[in-house]
């Protein structure tokens, strides 16, 4: 079951027009699955085990980017209403370029389940440093049109 999640992510990415983003999310998911499977256990992990694992990792270390992106990937593959946007604030604060991923998530969720994430997108993007976000749009002190 867990192995099928990455394939579903890739298919949803194709369906929504975001195959590159879906490939990155599938890779993030595969990485946390590999971490979970490397732990000693008596049985094969389930999707519920995977959720618990990444949630516990993120609770222990809020800066664990791999766990955060794993949760985002799980949110997307399971049709969570916010697509994991509520998790992206720290990622956007660290790298304003992640705003593009947040916009992709909002579009993905709208296309897949019809939920408008304008408010959630605004909240997630509010974590970005405005100067750092504006910097790529400026060249020689002029805005690029």
Q: Which 3-state string (H, E, C) describes the chain?
A: CHHHHHHHHHHHHHHHCCHHHHHHHHHHHHHHHHHHHHCCCCCCCCHHHHHHHHHHHHHHCCCCHHHHHHHHHHHHHCCCCCCCHHHCHHHHHHCHHHHHHHHHHHHHHHHHHCCCCHHHHHHHHCCCCHHHHHHHHEECCEECC
In this prediction, residue 115 has a pLDDT band, given cuts at 50, 70 and 90, of very high
Q: Give the pLDDT of residue 44.
A: 87
Q: Is the dihedral of CA 89, 21, 35, 74 positive or negative?
A: positive
Q: What is the mean pLDDT of the chain?
A: 89
pLDDT digits (tens, 9 = 90+) for 31-83: 999 999 999 988 889 999 999 999 999 999 999 999 999 999 999 998 888 99
Quote the DSSP letter at residue 10: H
* Cut 0.95: pTM above it: no
β-partners of residue 143 are: 138
116-133 pLDDT, tens per residue? 999 999 999 998 887 766
Q: What is the pLDDT of residues 93-109, one digit of tens each?
A: 999 889 999 999 999 99
Its sign, for the CA torsion 125, 107, 55, 30, is negative
Longest CA pairwise span in the chain (Å): 61
pLDDT at 51 (0 to 100): 94
């Amino acid at each position: 079951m867990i192995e099928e999640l990455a394939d579903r992510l890739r298919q949803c990415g194709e369906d929504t027009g975001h195959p590159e983003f879906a490939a990155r999310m599938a890779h993030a998911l595969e990485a946390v699955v590999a971490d979970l499977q490397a732990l000693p256990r008596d049985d094969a992990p389930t999707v519920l085990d995977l959720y618990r694992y990444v949630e516990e990792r993120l609770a222990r270390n809020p800066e664990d980017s791999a766990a955060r992106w794993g949760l985002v990937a799980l949110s997307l593959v399971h049709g969570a209403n916010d697509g994991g946007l509520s998790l992206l604030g720290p990622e956007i604060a660290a790298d304003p370029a992640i705003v593009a991923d947040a916009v992709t998530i909002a579009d993905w969720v709208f296309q897949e389940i019809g939920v408008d994430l304008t408010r959630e997108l605004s909240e997630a993007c509010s974590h970005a440093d405005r100067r750092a976000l504006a910097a790529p749009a400026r060249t020689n002190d002029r805005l690029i049109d």
